[in-house]
Chain A
Amino acid sequence: MFIGLISPFLFIAHACTLEILRGVSPESIVRYQPDENGNWHCLNDPSIVIPFDRVNDNYCDCPDGSDEPGTSACSNGLFFCENVGFESHFIPSFKVDDGVCDYDVCCDGSDEAPGVCENRCVSMKAEYEKQVHEHNKKITQGVAIKQKMAEKSKSIRSDLEKAILKYNQYIASTEENIAALELVRGKMDENEEMINDNFKVIETDFEMLTKSLLGSFNQLSGYISKLELLESILKTMTEEYNHNFNDPAVKQAAQEYLNFAASFDETSDDSSDDNGTKQRIAVEKVVDAFQELLKSINEDIAKVKSEIVSLKLEQNKKEDNNTSDSSSSSIFFETWEIIVIGLKRLVDSFLGVESRIVTYEESIEPYKDIPKSEISNKEAEKQIASLSTSLEGLKSEVSKSESELKKNYGPGDILRSMPECIISKIGSYKYKLCPTSVLEQINNDGRGTKIGVFEDLIFSEETNNYQFIFKRGERCWNGPVREAVVDVVCGTKQEVLIVTEPEKCIYHLKMVSPLGCFESDLL
């Protein structure tokens, strides 16, 4: 009976307390009780005592903001949104009672006076769960792909290591073969040495010519590209300079460039102003010169040839008739073949190309053990030449593989299994992102601008994710050298999503890739 009477009072008192203590979490509610004198102490500074009715009276008394949990009076206060049915949150007091429904924190709308913001917790929770589901699905799939990528990267590395091992074995055996063949060649007759000596002179001359021609050619193409660069700079300036600057120097330069371009067009037979044409003409000139040279070298060689022939004829006379004409001519042709191989090498080295690309399969083709004592000197020479070529190929393959191994492929080598390049169209540009080499912006005409060269893939604390760093791109007109950071976000595809240029020529990209998927991000 007694209890029955009292409890309604208790209930009412309790309800009143709850109403006063807007913005207090259930855990903290015990700390919001008046003391025996009806006073209350600031939570973090009990020396400050205020009457309990000054809690939530819309006037800030406590430096820690604890006396105003349910109003916006204290700048450092926190307001508890219970968000029944969803997750509870604290919202900073400056967002309380400002007329804005901050649903991202308070889905129940309790940060505003009753009636201002409807409770959206149910629908927001459903939406949230849907998103969580999709998010987790994406992460799970992405992590699996990333796992495979990591494995693939690992196997690429081990393949490379294996290949180096194998190459080194072949190098060893090839070197053995060459050594053996050289022993045979040691018995080469004097005539052949003489012929070789003759050829050495030619070789030296040819090398010199090659060098000087190559030098001129490089110089020329250097000039051509400089000229092109200058022309394109001037052309851009003439077309795009800001008239607002109204700078006579710029105006004059633009005018003179136009005159220059016009006069160039007049003197040139080619009416097109295509730079490529100009360059082609220049290259053709070099090639012409080279052909001229080759002709004269051929004449030299013809002379040598006739010398050899006469030499051989003399020798034949001296020798007994047990060697036939055919053998004499075969000696000649064998010698000629050596000359041809040598020339081919010279020409190749002049042109800067390898006579053939030693492919992996070819290079591992085993060399058969030849009965060396039985082959002729010429045959030995031929084989040595061929083996040397292979040896060079093998060695360069080893060094390529070794440098490939050393190359930066990001943490854990992960980028080894990335696609070579990713191309995405964003706005009016295409972006070509080659993870370990270069980032380019390609305009509608297909002209690419280098935004940067791959510098590193780092784990960014700020975004808690991977970030590519591209630096040393092309310099902007009137601006800095281009550079970019690429933030990676989780996704099952590989593509560039967003490109921004917060400052002139400083780019921020966002790309999706499984690279950005982490199990720790699962919700």
Chain B
Amino acid sequence: MLFGLVSCVLWLLVWISPAVCVKDYLFKKCEQNGFCNRNRHYAQQIEALDGGYEPRYALDRSSLVVDEKHGLIKGKMNKQLGDGSYRDLIFDVTIVEDYNLRFKLDEEDRKKYIPEEITVNPNRYSETGERAFKGELGRRSFQHQVLDDEIFVKYGDELEYTAVIKIYPFRIIIMYNGVKQIVLNDRDFLNLEHYRTKQSQEKEPGESIDVLPEESTFNAYKDNFKDSKDDHLFLGPESVALDFTFVNYTHVYGIPEHADSLSLKDTTGTEPYRLYNVDIFEYETQSKLPMYGSIPLMIATKPDTSAAIFWVNSADTYIDIKKNDAGENIGGLELVWSEDSIDSVKTHWMSENGIIDVILMVKPTPNAISKAYGEITGFSTLPNLFSLGYHQCRWNYNDEGDVLDVHRNFDNYEIPYDTIWLDIEYTDEKRYLTWNKELFPTPDDMMAKMDETKRQLVMIVDPHIKDDYFMAELIKDNNIAINDPLIEGAFRGHCWPGKSIWIDTMNPAAQKIWDSQFKNGSSLLGYSTNGHIWNDMNEPSVFDGPETSISKDTRHYGHYEHRSVHNIYGLSFHEATYDSLIKRNDYKRPFILTRSFFAGSQRTAAMWTGDNMAKWEYLKESIPMVLTMNAVGFPFAGADVGGFFGNPPKDLLVRWYQAGIWYPFFRGHAHIDSRRREPWIAGGVYTDYMRDAIRLRYRLLALLYTEFWRSSISGQPILKPILWEIPQDKLAYEIDNQFYLGGLLVHPVVEENAEEVEVYFPCDGETYYDFFDVATKFESCQSINVKATLGMIPVFLKGGSVVPTKDRYRRSAQLMKYDPYTLYVVLGSDGSASGKLYVDDGETFGYKSGDWLEVDFVGSEPERVIRAVVAHNENKPFTRSLEEKKVTVSKVIVVGSSLSGELASVSVSQNGKTWTADVAENRLDHAFTIRNPDVLITSDWEISF
């Protein structure tokens, strides 16, 4: 807050930026937000009774239906009302995908209580899962046993899971290998605000059977937050809330998007973490305020197990976290058993409406959680190779000449790049899907010129449609707008073009209209093959709306209120774009960047962290933010390099490039009021350092692409938090300033004037080697200050890994396609190393029909051999072209060897032939280089020494 004030004042004084600091009064705090206020109140009331509370929710044993084979238990749950009567709820428990437990709870036949004049869909919105999941979830069978007060459910390949469902008070306890992991409704915070009339609600306290003594009626039928006063709240209070305890855990991660640390903080006495997709203008760092996207997945980890909650709800949501650190409670005293003597993380999830739908996962490792979550929501897409290159963006490149100048300058300065971006000014007066023909008279020619060196163009297309041209007419004529709550027809609000309407991509009819704007020959993309789309402002951002978004009582398809689908609307928009682009060219992988996202967005888009600032603290914040995205299965993430607002000093810009090359999505971007800052502007050593950094990114593209592929089949992070790689190392649980990429450990420099950084070498028993100077090594399980002057990037090779690179500078990613590889074979503590390389054409869906190449590298000093085992299908066009072009491994750098200095040559064999290759640069005492073994990448080979 202080920072905010100070920077505001500074801004006024120096007039450097157009921006105002984030106005946190624009966004609802929990106490100002009806449902959050009420549920926190509810929880406090129950806690105050200190065990004396009589819970109101119980399973109705008589209604239970159990279908072991189809993995289903369903029945009624009774909610006891003020007069002792019950309201019927319906629940089901299923075992889905890789043995995860899903619990759903809804009101039974809610429709019968709701007056007919209310035009909102009377059902609670229950389709969030359908949109977030990759498809229908597979059910798993289980074994069960119904006792008097509980149901035992055993599941898993070896029945390693047990769920104990307690009848009253209602609980679900999940055990893994006999150890308690998660308790659902541990603290009886379960609350489903059943439908009640305003009249009932407003009776004197204690008079209404609907309002329970532990309940509050705050803002139940109105919203007194100053920008939300017009919210009609037609259905009154309808929130859902539930608590979960992670037993014996100390750390939780996930629930982006917040500009906060990787390890989530205790929220006692502070704001809860909020998930509500908003256009948060110049957000602050280290904050729990909501941001542009939401993924309601929280992961807890300890050395032998990891557990996760996936809260499948797309409404406004808050999460309270309370950590019980047993270590602190014990202090120096003798251990006395109590609840407090067990580590736990207690969480309280509160959503404004919808049903309760939650999936609980328990696995041996965080990676296994990532996989399990990916099996539910889909793995991240295997992207176009170009999109892993450098993206140059600015609001705005003004015209065709400007774009082509920037394009040429990259080559003049010998800096590789793949993509130039066009922000909103390319359009005809912010009418998306049109061009400003005076500035861009021949976009086809411009794109063709860029295509000569395989460069790409990305154009912004937002969901707000200026209410004065053909697109608005199409939307209105087809009734596919987000509609006004009161009058028939489209809701109107302000955004970039002024008065606008919003396309409702939740409506299936919208797809066809959207498709028509992207088909070949359409006005925006013409017949180009190198044009791609950026979906911004899809929270949706509404300048004159509450919390800079659309009113919660506007209507979507199916007469659902916006409040039910708010957090998933952004996903529906970028998915619609994806589907349109697939229809345009069904063989090509589309590239889409989205600002708003939800669980499942990883299937079709990349994301970036929105409008950051050109300040050191934002560079620093970007690392935990990107790591969190990686932790929750949406790894194709990055922050604006350089900072969107303001003018970065040259050293900050250099450091940002040096950090940005590690973001899975690597884009430089700048606000329209900032100075130009393309890498050559700074000049001198600064430009040299930026060029070095960007070229390093391209050197590592083969590794990065392999990691993207790995993620696309396993859900694994691409940038791995240390604890993902080494969950046994509890010292690493809060480290969020370094990470792994394949076998590389990286610690970006994010501090001003840093001459060195303290690098933590995790407790994995491996030796680490400086990537740029393999002669320098570091032992594990220690923190060491490593030299890191401007120009230096702390990167370390981890013992036991093989890292593939391509060393030649080319102008763009696709132009490196047939260049030879260099391998780093970094022998580990046991003298061996292994690694993988995945290759495909990087642009089509050919890989889906088997046109790919997978190489497993193994190095072993005891066996004195380095070996490659290649898997690929015969006669596929791209892999065949690799053979024809004779793509080779032209250098192997062996690190961590005791044989250095002893070898003059090695023996190489492939395809029945044997030859020798020289050993060069063997002066180091633990590394040597094999000069041009000249082995083809497309078939098995062996180097023995």
Cross-chain contact of B401 among A92, A246, A498 (Cβ < 8 A)? A498
The residue in chain A whose Cβ has the minimal distance to the Cβ of B279 is A244
Nearest CB in chain A: distance from B702 CB, A: 16
User: Looking across the interface, which residue of chain A has its beta carbon closest to that of B397?
Assistant: A502
Chain A residue numbers with a CB within 8 Å of B818 are 97, 99
Query: Does the CB pair B932–A94 fall under 8 Å?
Result: no
The reply to whether A244 and B543 contact each other, CB–CB distance below 8 Å, is yes
Q: Mark A76-106, 1 if CB is under 8 A from B, else 0.
A: 0000000000000000101101111000000
Contact check, A59 vs B673: say whether CB atoms are below 8 A apart. Answer: no
Q: Does B809 contact A (CB under 8 A)?
A: yes
Given the interface contacts A59-B890, A99-B815, A100-B815, does A503 sit within 8 Å of B548 by beta carbon? no
Report B-chain residues with C-beta under 8 Å of the C-beta of A99: 814-815, 817-818
A447 sits at the interface (CB 8 A)? no
Q: Is B931 a contact of A504 with CB atoms below 8 Å?
A: no
A75 contacts partner chain B, Cβ-Cβ < 8 Å: yes
Interface centre among A242, A478, A502 (most CB of B within 10 A): A502
From B18, B544, B808, A479 is in contact (CB under 8 Å) with B18
Alpha-carbon separation in the docked complex, A401 to B398 (Å): 44
Query: Which residues on A sit within 8 Å (CB–CB) of B543?
Result: 242-244, 246
A502 and B815 contact, CB distance less than 8 A: no
Q: Which of A72, A245, A478, A500 contacts B808 (CB 8 A)?
A: A72
* A490 vs B140: C-alpha distance when bound (angstroms): 78
Q: Give every chain A residue within 8 A of B139 (Cβ-Cβ).
A: none
Alpha-carbon gap, A58 to B814, bound state (A): 20
B26 at the interface (CB under 8 A from A): yes
**Contact status of A246 and B23, CB under 8 A, knowing A100-B815, A500-B402:** yes
Task: Say whether B809 contacts A100, CB under 8 Å.
Answer: no
Instruction: Give min CB distance, B281 to chain A, whole Å.
Output: 6
Q: How far is the CA of A57 from the CA of B675 in the complex (A)?
A: 46
- B886 CB to closest chain A CB, in angstroms? 9
Interface string of A41-73 (1 = CB under 8 A from B): 000000000000000011100000000000011
Which residues of the partner chain A approach B541 to less than 8 Å between Cβ atoms? 244
A428 sits at the interface (CB 8 A): yes
Known: A59-B890, A502-B402. A75 touches B808 (CB 8 A): yes
Query: How far in angstroms is the closest Cβ of chain A from B769?
Result: 23
Pair B811/A98 contact, Cβ less than 8 Å: yes
Q: Chain A residue with minimal CB distance to B808?
A: A72
B673 and A94 contacting across the interface, CB-CB below 8 Å: no
Q: Which of A325-354 contact B (CB under 8 A)?
A: none
Q: Cα distance A502–B815 when bound, in Å?
A: 29
CB interface residues, B 812-855, toward A, < 8 Å: 814-820
- Given the complex of chains A and B, what is the CA–CA distance between A99 and B817 in angstroms? 9
A504–B581 alpha-carbon span in the complex (Å): 34
Chain B nearest Cβ from A425, distance in angstroms: 11
B582 at the interface (CB under 8 A from A): no
B280 to chain A, nearest CB (A): 11
B438 touches A247 (CB 8 A): no
Residue from the set A245, A247, A501 with the largest chain B CB neighbour count within 10 Å: A245
Does A26 count as interface, using CB distance less than 8 angstroms?
no
A interface secondary structure, majority: loop
Q: Is the CB–CB distance between B808 and A502 below 8 Å?
A: no
- Cβ < 8 Å to B, chain A residues 501-519: 501-504
Chain B: which residue is nearest A93 at the CB level?
Answer: B808
Interface string of B536-557 (1 = CB under 8 A from A): 0000010110001000000000
**CA of A242 to CA of B541 in the docked complex: distance in angstroms?**
13
B672 cross-chain contacts in A, Cβ below 8 A:
504
Question: Contacts A100-B815, A245-B281: A478 and B673 contacting too (C-beta < 8 A)?
Answer: yes
Interfacial chain B residues near A92, Cβ < 8 Å: 414
Q: Is the interface of B mostly helix, strand, loop or mixed?
A: loop
Q: In the assembled complex, which residues on chain A have CB atoms less than 8 Å from the CB atom of B19?
A: 245
Q: With a CB–CB cut-off of 8 A, which chain B residues contact A502? A: 398, 402, 676
Within 8 Å by CB of B20, from A95, A245, A479, lies A245
User: Does any Cβ of B come within 8 Å of A38's Cβ?
Assistant: no
Task: Tell me whether B399 is interfacial, beta carbon within 8 Å.
Answer: yes
Q: Quote the shortest CB–CB distance from A520 to chain B (angstroms).
A: 23
A427 CB–B CB distance under 8 Å = yes
A residues near B819, Cβ cutoff 8 Å: 72
**Closest-CB distance, B7 to chain A (whole angstroms):** 15
| Chain A residue at minimum C-beta to C-beta distance from B282 | A245
Q: Which residues of A contact B816 (CB under 8 A)?
A: 98
Is B792's beta carbon under 8 Å from chain A?
no
* Residue contact A58 to B23, C-beta cutoff 8 Å: no
**Separation in Å of the B321 CB from the closest CB of chain A?**
29
> Is B452 an interface residue, CB under 8 A from the partner?
yes
The answer, yes or no, to whether B529 is at the interface (CB within 8 Å) is no
Min CB–CB distance A380 → chain B (angstroms)? 64
Smallest CB-CB separation from B674: which chain A residue? A503
Please determine whether B401 and A244 come into contact, CB atoms closer than 8 angstroms.
Answer: no
Shortest C-beta distance, B430 to chain A (Å), equals 13
Judged by a CB distance under 8 angstroms, whether B453 is at the interface is yes
Q: Give the distance to chain B from A137, nearest Cβ to Cβ, in Å.
A: 25
In the complex, are the beta carbons of A504 and B808 less than 8 A apart?
no
Residue of A nearest to B416 (CB): A94
Tell me the smallest distance from the CB of A94 to a CB of chain B, in Å.
5
Q: Quick check: A100 and B932 within 8 Å, CB to CB?
A: no
A250 → chain B, closest Cβ, in Å?
A: 9
CB distance B809 to A94 under 8 Å? yes
Query: For the complex, is B810 an interface residue (Cβ under 8 Å from A)?
Result: yes
Nearest chain-A residue to B411 (Cβ)? A95
Contacting pair A244 B673 (CB below 8 A) = no
A500 contacts B399, C-beta separation under 8 Å: yes
Identify B810's interface contact among A57, A94, A504, CB under 8 A: A94
Please, which residues of chain B bring their CB within 8 A of the CB of A479? 18, 673
- Once the chains bind, are A503 and B809 in contact (CB under 8 Å)? no
How far, in whole Å, are A388 and B231 apart by their CA atoms in the complex? 82
Q: How far is the CA of A202 from the CA of B808 in the complex (A)?
A: 93
Instruction: Check A100 against B452 for contact (C-beta < 8 Å).
Output: yes
Q: Enumerate chain B residues within 8 angstroms of A95, measured Cβ to Cβ.
A: 811
CA distance A58 to B414 in the complex (A): 21
Measured in the bound complex, the distance between the Cα atoms of B428 and A428 in whole Å is: 12
Smallest beta-carbon distance B467→chain A, Å: 15
Q: How far is the CB of A114 from chain B (nearest CB, A)?
A: 13
Q: Which chain A residue shows the least CB distance to B436? A: A427
A57 touches B414 (CB 8 A): no
On chain A, the residues within 8 Å of B674 by CB distance are: 503
Note all chain A residues with C-beta closer than 8 A to B548: 244, 246
Contacts of A501 in B (CB 8 A): 398
Query: Which residues on A sit within 8 Å (CB–CB) of B474?
Result: none
Are B438's CB and A58's CB within 8 A? no
List chain B residues, Cβ under 8 A from A247: 20, 23
- Give complex CA distance A58, B816 in Å: 15
- In the assembled complex, B494 has its CB within 8 A of some CB on chain A: yes
Across the interface, A58 reaches (CB within 8 A) one of B281, B398, B890, namely: B890
Query: Nearest residue in B to A51 (C-beta to C-beta)?
Result: B918
Which residues of B sit under 8 angstroms from A428, Cβ to Cβ?
Answer: 438
A500 and B401 form a contact (CB under 8 A): yes
What 1/0 flags go to B20-62 for Cβ under 8 Å of A?
1001001000000000000000000000000000000000000
| Bound: A94/B809 CA distance, A | 6
Collect the chain A residues with CB atoms within 8 Å of residue B890's CB.
58-59, 73
**Shortest Cβ gap from A131 to chain B (Å):** 19
Contacts of B814 in A (CB 8 A): 99
B342 interface residue, CB < 8 Å from A? no
Q: Which of B544, B809, B820, B931 contacts A243 (CB 8 A)?
A: B544
Chain B residues with CB under 8 A of A243: 494-495, 543-544
A330 to chain B, nearest CB (A): 72
Q: Taking A99-B815, A427-B438 as contacts, is the C-beta distance between A500 and B279 under 8 angstroms? A: no
- Return chain B residues, CB-CB under 8 Å to A500: 398-399, 401-402
5 nearest interchain CB pairs? A243-B543, A59-B932, A98-B815, A427-B438, A478-B18
> Can you give 10 A-B contacts (C-beta < 8 A)?
A57-B932, A58-B890, A75-B808, A98-B816, A100-B815, A242-B543, A243-B544, A427-B438, A479-B673, A502-B398
- Given contacts A58-B890, A99-B814, A245-B19, could you give 4 more A-B pairs where the C-beta distance is less than 8 Å? A57-B932, A246-B548, A479-B673, A498-B401
